[in-house]
Structure 1
Amino acid sequence: MTNEGTFCLVLHSHLPWLAHHGAWPVGEEWLYQAWAHSYLPVVDLLERFAAEGREDVLTLGVTPILAAQLDDPYSLRGLHDWLGNWQLRAHSASFRLPDLAAREHRASAWSLDRFETRWRHGFSPVLRSLVDSRTVELLGGPAAHPFQPLLHPRLRAFSLRAGLDDTALRIGSTPAGIWAPECAYAPGMEHDYARAGVRRFLVDGPSLRGDTAAGRPVGTSDVVAFGRDLEVSYRVWSPKVGYPGDPAYRDFHTYDHPSGLKPSRVTGKKVEPADKRPYDPDLAADAVRRHAADFVDTVVRRLRALKEQHGKPSLVVAAYDTELYGHWWHEGPAWLEAVLRLLPGAGVRVTTLRGAVEAGHVGAPVDVPPSSWGSGKDWQVWNGPRVADIVQGNAEVQRELLALDVSGAVRDPVADQAVREALLALSSDWAFMVTKDSAADYARYRAEVHADRFRELVALRRAGRGHDRAAELRLVDGPFGRLDARGLAS
């Protein structure tokens, strides 16, 4: 069979900490929708590949803050209730929308069965089996998904170490690679990664000046940066176009308001919700087959062009948010499976970033500029004028956090909770949501409430108090149970 080259699919699974912080329209509902519609079907797909003995199917990033929620007893109970409510909503629509109700009943019944038989003890046991079988390569990351270039180096190192340690606790091993939050990079961060044992990370294609045909060691380090191939990645989803906008696919934004179910297909970009046509699964299935074939053809053509350019088989890395598959794009998991099954037959080696390194897809060293995968491929989404208040607030939190006395001989639960609140305040999600005008009020509230709680705990601790308040807040904001504030001192 022709060796066209190597393809790596990288999925980035991330949501900010949402438990106990509102439900609708932003909050826990966001978590449960993504869990039901993306995480359950994507993991089911991977387990089926594992049962077939397939290795290195894809590279799966799971941020520590998301993993904490998917293992959290409160969130597990909440999802179970949400899935049951989904089934009740399907029943309620049976007289008005019988075809839709039947489809949603089957989907909710399947999801309840998968959750009750595979997920009741959390995500970590499921994920660990996929990692141990080498079906996936796992990428970790810093604890609460901060925009690392805007962190003080000591906080950057502490956050990364805390995140890697938490992942190791959950799955029994430390990831050798990370998804750098927002694919953000500042010169010198490769040395932070090397000290933490990180061997590879993701950047966006322009960070490597578009030369993404191989991983590239960064600077004088041996830490390898892989860049998204935008020519291929944007075929699925770009700021303007992509497969999910096809008229046959289920429309994400149109609801049957009495039931909360989604009855319509996209129909057209400028079609009003009331005028959209009913969803037709057969039409959607035809679109999945068409788009899977188109994507495979796109990958093959790209690999052939790179082979002609470089004189040898090359690499294509396509990377997306996991939540695209199933949550935002209802048919995404079916498309994903079709692509992963079609590519080998087209002469493309499918593997992970680890597998790409093992296959020799590592080029010459490169100096990477300050960059991200946000608008403009720079840092403007996270430090631009629209988020000047958040940037200033984060700087103040960092100053106070660095001044915190954590030199005690034993763990201090007040200091530990103060650090948790600070890390949550420094999440990159809040600035992103404000810049993109996506639930901006909620995002500002979250940044402020965690900063306020951090300062409250610091003040109580100085007064020799705070244990009751720290225990109370840990019930609400309790990720990273082993987080030890004393690590800030080193």
Structure 2
Amino acid sequence: MSRGFATFVLHTHLPYCRLAGRWPHGEEWLHEAMLECYLPLVRAFRRAGRDCKGSLGVTINITPILAEQLRDPLVQAHFRTYLRERIEGAESDSRRFSDAPGLRCTTADFHRDRYRAIQAFFEDEISGDVIGALAELEDAGHIEVATSAATHGYLPLLGDDAAVRFQVETGVASHIRNFGRAPRSFWLPECAYRPGLEQFLQGAGIRVFFSETHLVTGGLARGKARGGMHGPYPESHYVSSHMAEGPARGGTTFRAYMVGHSQVAVMGRNERTGMQVWSAAHGYPGDPAYREFHKKDDETGLHYWRVTGAGVDLGEKAEYDPAVARDVALRHAGHFAGVVQSEIDAYGEGGGNGGIVLSAYDTELFGHWWLEGVDWLEATLRHLAANPEIELVSAGDFVTSHPPREMIELPEGSWGAGGDHGTWMNSETAWTWPEIGVRQERARSLLGTSTPATRQLARELLLLQSSDWQFLMTTGQAHDYAIERFRSHAERFDCLASAIESGDPEGDRLAAEIGELDNPFPAIDPCRYSPVQPTPVVRG
């Protein structure tokens, strides 16, 4: 009999970038994530599922806007071109480094072989259908696929219940269309919560959502919200240096709780397992043997160097050895399995019974930024599956089989730096929120019918609300690109709104023209925007 439970919650999201630039900002974000992260993970889940049987304890959130892009034929065609180019680059490097001393030829062959394997998997095993492959894994009971708000809108700052409901209900409807079943679990964008959001989730049939540690336990912001994380995003000087702090609430991340007076549960992220991966001070991805993310070959953009050590300048990085890095990843997997066991044991020794360790991460960490992360995760799942004292379980299954018996009132907050809304509301981004608010108000009188023009208007409003634009402005990762994208969706909304308001007969033609660029949510129902009562979501 198991002493406790373990689950991994993977948050998978990229903004809408179809036909919105290629490199350095645009659709190649998606191509790179497919090649380095999404396809390797699906392949690893299929292998582990065949060998381990039953649940792998993975709840993977695929945001609706990402799912729409992964199913898009044009995105798939562009990915095939990108993948061929990456294979050709690796083949070229294999020839270029064939007589070079050191490890670069070995690493070039490693890149070539893994890219070829991903190409064969994509074309021959899953017929180019990433979403279908995930749905099959869920049908087999190996994983659970969770959903999120339609375009990852930052719900606490939308300031309009109709807008929040439209993000949630459109996201759930898209999930049902793409995956063939109603979701049970929901990832609040940026783990951003304000009291009352659970009512919108309940209205959409959601059973459980996830929060950052400090929202459940109280006290200072913890985990990712404290900063000092591994990852490609720089810290922002716009974010307040203080940490959000609230009174201790007596909550624990080892249990699920009902939120407020709803029938929706919340599960908090385990701090220790989160920091074991995320921490820049002692997280696994900082190991000297692992592939260095930030240094690339000048000709092909491939990686031939390793982390080497903390603080080592890029020019001093040592050559990467794929075999050594894989061995380290497998060793780290064994260590992490031990950490999970020790967390469950400590909770039991403190009087707890049947606690769950929820480890939550951005999916793109695995394979994309931390190349060896896919091997690490697969090996970790195998270690845990073989341990009779730990039961792997998805989030939806856990709250179904162990219904929460206690209620908790959560404070407002997020997993952004500082634990509050500062990453999305600051001096750099404050101007965006009135712009969104004006268009939300305008939409109220325009989205009462379903026509080509109102359907495209609803898409542009959702795309304008994406939290990614504020995030990219704040971090500086793609500041000007984010402003351009935000303004382009605002302008498209305004053009469509004016055509609808004036009864312009060219409105549908304009909608079709804009729809060539922005085409997610083909079954969108604009009438959902401001109903008196929540519109029932049709189950798959």
Task: Give TM-score, length-normalised by structure 1.
Answer: 0.96
Partner of 2:275: 234
TM-fit CA distance, 1:363: 4.5
- Give me the whole-angstrom Cα distance separating, in 1, the residues matched to 2:305 and 2:52: 38
State the Cα deviation string for residues 179-231 of structure 1 (Å, max 9, x = none): 11111111011111111111111111111016111111001112100110112
Which among 194, 199, 210 is matched to residue 202 of structure 2? 194
- Give me the whole-angstrom Cα distance separating, in 2, the residues matched to 1:238 and 1:362: 31
TM-fit CA distance, 1:55: 2.5
SS of the aligned residue for 2:144 comes to strand
State the Cα deviation string for residues 373-424 of structure 1 (Å, max 9, x = none): 111111111122331122232222222223x32333xx21111111111111
- Give me the whole-angstrom Cα distance separating, in 1, the residues matched to 2:415 and 2:90: 38
Whether the 8 Å CA contact 1:5–1:315 is kept in 2: the answer is yes
Question: Are 1:156 and 2:195 matched, yes or no?
Answer: no
Residue type of the alignment partner of 2:385:
P
Partner of 2:136: 129
Whether the 8 Å CA contact 1:390–1:444 is kept in 2: the answer is no
- Give me the whole-angstrom Cα distance separating, in 2, the residues matched to 1:269 and 1:361: 44
Structure-to-structure mapping, 1:236-385, within 5 angstroms: 236-238=277-279, 241-346=282-387, 347-360=389-402, 362-385=404-427
SS of the aligned residue for 1:140 comes to strand
Partner of 1:454: 493
Question: Are 1:117 and 2:124 matched, yes or no?
Answer: yes
- Give me the whole-angstrom Cα distance separating, in 1, the residues matched to 2:452 and 2:282: 49
Residue type of the alignment partner of 1:84:
R
Partner of 1:26: 25
Which among 109, 114, 120 is matched to residue 107 of structure 1? 114
Residue type of the alignment partner of 2:194:
A
Structure with bigger helix share is: 1
Which among 522, 526, 530 is matched to residue 481 of structure 1? 522
Whether the 8 Å CA contact 2:446–2:500 is kept in 1: the answer is no
- Give me the whole-angstrom Cα distance separating, in 1, the residues matched to 2:64 and 2:290: 32
State the Cα deviation string for residues 110-140 of structure 1 (Å, max 9, x = none): 1110111244453232122112111111111
TM-fit CA distance, 1:234: 1.0
Partner of 1:11: 10
Whether the 8 Å CA contact 2:260–2:409 is kept in 1: the answer is yes
Partner of 1:209: 217
- Give me the whole-angstrom Cα distance separating, in 2, the residues matched to 1:369 and 1:91: 53
State the Cα deviation string for residues 7-31 of structure 1 (Å, max 9, x = none): 1111111101111011111111111
Whether the 8 Å CA contact 2:107–2:322 is kept in 1: the answer is no
Greater alpha carbon shift after TM alignment, 473-482 vs 270-279: 270-279
Residue type of the alignment partner of 2:293:
F
SS of the aligned residue for 2:408 comes to coil
- Give me the whole-angstrom Cα distance separating, in 1, the residues matched to 2:280 and 2:435: 29
Residue type of the alignment partner of 2:172:
L
Whether the 8 Å CA contact 2:10–2:360 is kept in 1: the answer is yes
Question: Are 1:398 and 2:440 matched, yes or no?
Answer: yes
Partner of 1:441: 480
Question: Are 1:169 and 2:177 matched, yes or no?
Answer: yes
State the Cα deviation string for residues 243-277 of structure 1 (Å, max 9, x = none): 11111000111000111111101112322222211
- Give me the whole-angstrom Cα distance separating, in 1, the residues matched to 2:423 and 2:165: 23
User: RMSD of the TM alignment (CA)?
Assistant: 1.6
Structure-to-structure mapping, 1:73-84, within 5 angstroms: 73-84=73-84
Partner of 1:54: 53
Whether the 8 Å CA contact 2:255–2:267 is kept in 1: the answer is yes
Greater alpha carbon shift after TM alignment, 325-334 vs 445-454: 445-454
Whether the 8 Å CA contact 2:195–2:410 is kept in 1: the answer is yes
- Give me the whole-angstrom Cα distance separating, in 2, the residues matched to 1:470 and 1:293: 54
Whether the 8 Å CA contact 2:304–2:319 is kept in 1: the answer is yes
Greater alpha carbon shift after TM alignment, 340-349 vs 222-231: 340-349
Q: Percent identity?
A: 35
Whether the 8 Å CA contact 1:325–1:332 is kept in 2: the answer is yes
TM-fit CA distance, 1:331: 0.2
Q: Could you list the runs of 5+ residues in structure 1 that have no partner in the other structure?
A: none
Whether the 8 Å CA contact 1:236–1:242 is kept in 2: the answer is yes
- Give me the whole-angstrom Cα distance separating, in 1, the residues matched to 2:528 and 2:265: 27
Partner of 1:92: 92
TM-fit CA distance, 1:282: 2.4
Residue type of the alignment partner of 1:386:
E
SS of the aligned residue for 1:381 comes to coil
Task: Give TM-score, length-normalised by structure 2.
Answer: 0.87
- Give me the whole-angstrom Cα distance separating, in 2, the residues matched to 1:361 and 1:60: 21
Q: Relative to 1, partners in 2 of residues 1:340 and 1:394: Cα closer, same or farther, differing over 3 Å? A: same
SS of the aligned residue for 2:428 comes to helix
Partner of 1:69: 69
Whether the 8 Å CA contact 1:214–1:361 is kept in 2: the answer is no
SS of the aligned residue for 1:489 comes to coil
State the Cα deviation string for residues 330-353 of structure 1 (Å, max 9, x = none): 000100011111123442211111
Structure-to-structure mapping, 1:419-438, within 5 angstroms: 419-438=458-477
